[in-house]
Amino acid sequence: MNIAVLVSGSGTILEAILEAGIEVSLVVADRPCRGLEIAGNGAIDAVLLDRTGFGGFSKSFDRAAYSDTMCSLLEERNIDLVAMAGFGTVMTGEIFQRFAGRILNTHPALLPAYPGWHAVEDALADGATLTGTTVHIATEEMDAGPVVAQAEVPIEPHDDAALLHERIKQVERVLYPQTIREVAQTLGDGGSIEAIITTPEQG
């Protein structure tokens, strides 16, 4: 399986994927970031598909054009499976059709609970005692794709958003590589992603 990892920041999830022994064929970033350095240090093909050329972070950002360009890049490199790893650009359009069931993402909550950008803060504000991390299939509707794997993280009385998010990330760095490996093996053996989709108990 040719696996691409999409990054935007420090690359700690990418590091965890590589440390788990998963072979990555391509790393793509939407902005200059440490994730590209990690790819370079590992002699992994890396591409900076910078948002700057599509309107940057302004209201004029051409999301559809960026998404189509990303899709074409992944197809040109014969990518079979895409893993978003802290990727900060929300994509839209045909990429979710042409790579249907083959784009994975993580979320710092037990989806369908607490979707959106502020999942950790929302869980704390709600007085929840349990949260976690979810690996799901990315779809055009944010945080709404089928769940592939989840792991729980208790919320401690002393937690603030930073402490809780870091504990979630520690679990995520184990669960995500395991799940990527399982999905890649399933697809590589000719199986269907539906075979490993789970039904969340929480939500």
User: Which residues are known to be catalytic?
Assistant: 107
Q: Are strands 103-107 and 3-7 parallel, antiparallel or unpaired?
A: unpaired
Contacts of 162 (CB under 8 A, 6+ apart): none
Contacts of 105 (CB under 8 A, 6+ apart): 83, 84, 87, 135, 136, 137, 138, 145
Q: Are strands 45-48 and 26-29 parallel, antiparallel or unpaired?
A: parallel
**Residue 27: alpha-carbon gap to chain centroid:** 13
175 secondary structure, DSSP code: H
146 cis-preceded (ω within 30 degrees of 0) = no
| Residue from 2, 11, 1 nearest 173 by CA | 11
Contacts of 116 (CB under 8 A, 6+ apart): 122, 142, 143
Neighbours of 46 (CB within 10 A): 19
